[in-house]
Amino acid sequence: MLLVKSFHIVFVASWFAGLFYLPRIFVNLAMVPAGSDAERARLLLMSRKLLRFMTLIAVPALGLGIWLWAGYGIGWGADSGWMHAKLAVVVLVMGYHHSCSVILKKFENRTMTRSHVWFRWFNEAPVLMMVAAVILVVLKPF
């Protein structure tokens, strides 16, 4: 079980690294001046590659989490309210990941209208979700 848990932590940390960085690229994309096609193309390429990597990393992170939950019974029982809350956070993280792919498509289609300031705030969401998940897993408050 400890090996599964270790790999789960590694894959989750790697997934979150991408979730922290991709919106920073979006900040830069939102700031690209009109006519800077090479800069825009480079940032879009970086975004596509990072999103692909994040998606590939998310699969084992989620799979190992399910293994810990269903296979080893972590989070089962009367005192497992923390797990329900953590699963809600996981659903939010998956939604955030999906929203990043939607945003990237809008940048690629030149239909994104949000400002770099909006993306700076958008970039804070995964930090809050990670803090919530870690607190729930470590403290098991309910």
State pLDDT tens for residues 8-52: 999 999 999 999 999 999 999 999 999 999 999 999 999 999 999
State pLDDT tens for residues 71-115: 988 889 888 999 999 999 999 999 999 999 999 999 999 999 999
In whole angstroms, give the CA distance from residue 66 to residue 98. Answer: 19
Domain boundaries, given as residue ranges, for the chain: 2-139
Q: What are the DSSP calls for 22-67, one per residue?
A: HHHHHHHHHTPPTT-HHHHHHHHHHHHHHHHHHHHHHHHHHHHHHI
- pTM for this prediction: 0.94
